[in-house]
């Protein structure tokens, strides 16, 4: 409806600003804007909104409060254990945390050396 167009535009602007903030604060490459957008939307769905009387969208959909206890900062350095490492060569690989994968129950990790994103 035309009356709701302003709400959608405001939400899109909020998402766009969130993407800019995440990319600027983390100093990650701009081609990761899609992953940043997913994380911004994930966070917005877990914060309170006036439209649903101070509840989160997650709470309205699932009937329980979201658990944000283990959420990391977007772009934070993470260390992933690798198979076949050596004592002196190392058994971990350094990457950047990009968010949670809902389908595979893992996390998205950006590998700066190869410029790729994988689920770990």
Q: How many domains does the chain have?
A: 1
> How far apart (Å, rounded) are the C-alpha atoms in residues 41 and 88?
41
* pLDDT, position 70: 75
Q: Name the residue range of residue 73's domain.
A: 2-119
Please determine, for residue 116, whether its predicted confidence score (pLDDT) is greater than 80: yes
* pLDDT, position 3: 63
Assess contact for 117 and 111: CB atoms under 8 A.
Answer: yes
**Cα distances (angstroms) measured from residue 50 to each of 55, 56, 66, 67, 102:** 8, 9, 17, 20, 26
pTM: 0.78
> How far apart (Å, rounded) are the C-alpha atoms in residues 116 and 71?
22
Torsional sign, CA 58, 59, 61, 64: positive
Higher-pLDDT residue of 94, 69: 94
């Amino acid at each position: 409806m035309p009356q709701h167009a302003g709400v959608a535009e405001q939400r899109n602007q909020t998402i766009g600003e969130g993407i800019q903030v995440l990319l600027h604060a983390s100093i990650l490459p701009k081609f990761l804007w899609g992953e940043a957008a997913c994380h911004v939307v994930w966070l917005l769905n877990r914060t309170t909104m006036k439209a649903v009387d101070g509840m989160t969208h997650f709470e309205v959909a699932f009937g329980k409060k979201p658990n944000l206890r283990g959420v990391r900062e977007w772009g934070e350095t993470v260390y992933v254990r690798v198979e076949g490492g050596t004592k002196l060569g190392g058994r971990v690989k350094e990457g950047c945390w990009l968010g949670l994968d809902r389908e595979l129950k893992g996390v998205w990790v950006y590998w700066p050396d190869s410029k790729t994103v994988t689920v770990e």
